[in-house]
Amino acid sequence: MYNDIFNDILEQVSEISGHLWNYGWAERNGGNISYNITGCASLFCERPALGTPRPIGFKVPELAGAYFLVTGTGKRMRYVSKSPLDNAAVIRICPDLEHYEIVAEKEIFPSSELPSHLAIHNFLQVDRPSYKAVLHTHPIELIAMTHNRAFLEKDVLTKILWSMIPETRAFCPKGLGVVRYVLPGSVALAEATLEQLKEYDVVLWEKHGVVAVGEDLVEAFDMLDTLSKSAKIYESACSMGFVPEGMSDAQMNELKEAFNL
């Protein structure tokens, strides 16, 4: 029905949303996904808009003519995994760069977090133009670690999680940024996240969740999966009555040199 590129994107959304649900990271309608599908614009550019243009809340000057696949507001990841286009919106940015319109077969409204997602995509278009996917979800162990104030200082969690297992240092070379608690869905949260994305590909929101960006959705998910494994190792050691020592700085530097990180 579509082309190979768009079908591959739909398969990614189906696979990853299923993982989010099965991992317990997407309670009820928690979490959301957006994917820049401008490369597939020919599939949708002739379609009339469904409904009237809706405001973004600010201009997105780098997204002129852009199209996005965005999980729908109130939609459950367990249903997104079964039928992405019944639970996600396809939107295009209007010429005024302040509104969007829905162009898929069904008038499904995108996630209420759409402004944050578009702000991130607008940033990525300049800073990392090959990055097309934005993923927000609620990894249990990572969120739990944000309830320790000592872990919220810059790069404290990065060093702990890097040190738990070599793969984390290798596959999440930028570590993760931390945003102190801000009202979910707020402009302040979007602005704080953009500030952290200047340095990191993964941003942890205190007592809330995580945002990851990547060239595709699999890459974004894999970083979260790896970081979550490290958090589980840390938690498991603590539950056995000791704080894990982790790899030494020398061992992590050896990894950095070996993997050219």
Q: Is 195 a catalytic residue?
A: no
pLDDT of residue 1: 61
Catalytic annotation, pick one of 113, 191, 195, 219: 113
- Ordered by start, the domain boundaries in the chain are 1-113, 139-261
Counting Cα atoms < 13 Å in the Cβ hemisphere of 33 gives 36
Instruction: Please give the CATH number for the structural domain made up of 1-113.
Output: 3.40.225.10
CB atoms inside a 10 Å sphere around CB 28: 9
Q: What are phi and psi of 61, to 5 degrees?
A: -60, -20
DSSP three-state, residue 135: strand
* pTM for the predicted model, two decimal places: 0.94
Residue of 154, 164, 113, 118 lying closest to 137 (CA atoms):
113
Q: d(Cα 212, Cα 203) in Å, to the nearest integer? A: 6
Rounded to 10 degrees, the C-alpha dihedral 159/177/14/4 comes to: -100
Cβ contact 227:157 at 8 Å: no
CB atoms inside a 10 Å sphere around CB 19: 17
- The CATH-assigned architecture of domain 139-261 is 3-Layer(aba) Sandwich (3.40)
Write out residues in the chain with pLDDT < 50, as ranges. Answer: none
